[in-house]
């Protein structure tokens, strides 16, 4: 069989072909042991050639990129689906950066090594009103780096109500410990006041105040949160640094889209934060990145930290982040950043589209009002009035599994025992594809 494969791929490395052939033969042995009929050398060679082709084919089921999926769950920032698509400008910028050499760390005027591509960081500083900005690989990396401002074996003071788990089982106390700092807790789980920070700061037991956005949960009832400006004033009076982890970090006012107001980086800096930390791929809507903005001296210290080199993004990500932030500076984010386009869709617009899908898919599909979530740890408990279609099927679980497979994958949700597709997260150009997949369910 190896000879058959070599004959069809004469230019491929022999050792690489042999490795794939061994995998195919091992799979065939497992099938034979299970009592299945033999495939034959020609069929096995076809399988091996197909596997090799898939290694570099983006359209292949197990190719070099995750398969394309139509997100019909209504969750705008769906973590399991890579959150939100990038803006077209970010995709084009990343492709251009990846396709050629570029002046990543070279000064065009002198021809010598210069500062690493700083366009994204210049945009970041301008958008937040900060003195300087820094881009790293993700928000967790940004937080770890910022906590390091406390110094080795320094102490970080945090409200007990903000000692949260930020996803993936990572907890704020563990982040602080990993940064080599010690945790000082103040206040209680449900109530923390600015005065609670006075003691450890006045006594010199902490040199950094960390404020953490709760992200995935909301504190309600008999609760009190310390005033941000008061905490910053106390910290600065005692020579401490204030780091504000904003989580999603909205650069547009969420209240303008009918949602609760999400703290914005520029607001927190104005309220006294020295450094703010937030994601580049949640409400900002660009590539995965960690964004830091704040005082120039502190950002310079973070840039010099040896950990910063381990956390820096590559040229394609930097180009994508720069293009995304450029859309905000150009005033085009609300219409060109996919996460904001999805959030901005009204129920009336979505119902019109749902009725068109209903008409195209068949009588087993009905347009219905729905509610969708922003997701990604953003705006917990907030619901967006939405619309989509409900599908009458014998088994919603089996129907959902069918939609997840095939060349045109659709991820729906099951709600109240029915299969539903929320159009908030479906691009209008995919409505026909969705209707076609739903129509096919009628024959099952």
CB distance 437 to 363 below 8 Å: no
Give one DSSP letter per residue of 338-351, joined into a string: HHHHHHH--HHHHH
Main-chain phi, psi angles of 306, to 5 degrees: -55, -30
CA 252 and chain centroid, separation: 17
Q: Residue 176: which H helix or E strand, with range?
A: helix 172-178
Nearest alpha carbon to residue 143 among 250, 325, 279, 322: 279
List beta partners, residue 395. none
Class of domain 69-83+341-441: alpha beta
**442's tokens:** 């009628």
Query: Hey, what CATH topology would domain 88-335 get?
Result: 3.40.640
Dihedral through CA 219, CA 130, CA 317, CA 305, nearest 10? -90
**347's tokens:** 């129920």
d(CA 218, CA 216): 7
Q: Give the other-Cβ count within 10 Å of 253's Cβ.
A: 12
CB distance 167 to 377 below 8 Å: yes
CB distance 317 to 287 below 8 Å: yes
CB distance 247 to 139 below 8 Å: yes
Q: 3-class DSSP state for residue 272?
A: coil
Q: 3-class DSSP state for residue 279?
A: strand
Q: 3-class DSSP state for residue 402?
A: helix
CB distance 261 to 254 below 8 Å: yes
The predicted model scores a pTM of: 0.89
Length of the chain: 444
pLDDT string in tens for the chain (444-residue length) = 788 888 888 888 888 889 998 999 998 899 889 888 888 888 888 898 888 888 887 777 677 778 889 999 999 999 899 989 999 999 999 999 999 999 898 888 898 998 888 999 999 999 999 999 999 999 999 999 999 999 888 999 999 999 988 777 788 999 999 988 999 999 999 999 999 999 999 998 999 999 998 876 777 888 899 999 999 999 999 999 999 999 888 999 999 999 989 999 999 999 999 999 999 999 999 999 999 999 999 999 999 999 999 999 999 999 999 999 999 999 999 999 999 999 999 999 999 999 999 999 999 999 999 999 998 777 777 889 999 999 999 999 999 999 999 889 999 999 999 999 999 999 999 999 999 999 999 765
d(CA 344, CA 168): 29
C-alpha distance from residue 419 to each of 73, 174, 373, 437 (Å): 10, 40, 17, 13
Beta carbons within 8 Å of 436's beta carbon, 6+ residues apart: 360, 361, 408
Q: Residue 15: which H helix or E strand, with range?
A: helix 14-33
List beta partners, residue 183. 156
Domain boundaries, the chain: 2-54, 69-83+341-441, 88-335
Task: Say what the pLDDT of residue 67 is.
Answer: 84
Q: Give the other-Cβ count within 10 Å of 230's Cβ.
A: 15
Task: Say what the pLDDT of residue 444 is.
Answer: 55
Strand stretches in 132-173, DSSP E = 132-136, 155-159
Task: Say what the pLDDT of residue 219 is.
Answer: 79
Alpha helices per DSSP H over 311-406: 315-329, 333-336, 338-344, 347-361, 396-404
């Amino acid at each position: 069989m190896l000879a058959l494969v070599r004959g069809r791929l004469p230019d491929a490395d022999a050792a690489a072909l042999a490795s794939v052939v061994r995998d195919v033969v091992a799979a065939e042995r497992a099938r034979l042991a299970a009592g299945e009929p033999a495939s034959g050398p020609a069929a096995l060679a076809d399988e091996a050639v197909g596997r090799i082709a898939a290694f570099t084919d983006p359209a292949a089921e197990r190719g070099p990129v995750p398969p394309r999926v139509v997100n019909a769950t209504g969750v705008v920032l769906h973590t399991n689906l890579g959150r939100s698509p990038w803006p077209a400008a970010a995709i084009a910028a990343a492709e251009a950066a990846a396709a050629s050499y570029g002046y990543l760390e070279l000064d065009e005027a002198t021809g010598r090594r210069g500062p690493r591509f700083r366009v994204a960081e210049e945009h970041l500083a301008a958008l937040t009103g900060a003195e300087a900005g820094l881009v790293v690989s993700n928000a967790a990396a940004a937080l770890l780096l910022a906590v390091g401002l406390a110094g080795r074996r320094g102490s970080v003071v945090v409200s007990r109500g903000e000692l949260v788990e930020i996803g993936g089982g990572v907890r704020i106390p563990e982040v602080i410990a990993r940064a080599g700092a010690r945790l000082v807790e103040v206040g209680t789980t449900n109530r923390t006041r600015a005065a609670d920070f006075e003691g450890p700061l006045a006594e010199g037991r902490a040199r950094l105040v960390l404020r953490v956005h709760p992200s995935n949960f909301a504190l309600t009832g008999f609760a009190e949160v310390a005033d941000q400006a008061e905490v910053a004033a106390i910290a600065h009076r005692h020579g401490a640094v204030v780091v504000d982890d904003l989580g999603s970090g909205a650069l547009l006012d969420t209240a303008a889209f009918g949602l609760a107001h999400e703290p914005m980086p520029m607001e927190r800096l104005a309220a006294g934060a020295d450094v703010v930390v937030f994601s580049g791929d949640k409400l900002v809507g660009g590539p995965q990145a960690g964004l830091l903005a704040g005082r120039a001296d502190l950002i310079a210290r973070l840039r010099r930290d040896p950990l910063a080199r381990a956390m820096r993004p590559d040229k394609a990500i930097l180009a994508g982040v720069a293009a995304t932030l450029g859309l905000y500076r150009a005033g085009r984010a609300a219409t060109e950043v996919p996460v904001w386009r999805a959030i901005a869709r009204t129920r009336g617009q979505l119902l019109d589209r749902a009725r068109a899908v209903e008409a195209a898919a068949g009588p087993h599909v009905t347009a219905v009002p729905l509610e969708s979530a922003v997701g990604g740890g953003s705006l917990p408990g907030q619901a967006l009035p939405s619309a989509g279609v409900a599908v009458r099927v014998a088994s919603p679980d089996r129907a959902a599994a069918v939609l997840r497979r095939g060349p045109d994958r659709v991820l729906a949700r099951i709600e109240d025992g029915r299969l539903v597709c929320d159009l908030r997260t479906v691009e209008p150009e995919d409505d026909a594809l969705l209707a076609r997949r739903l129509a096919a369910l009628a024959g099952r």
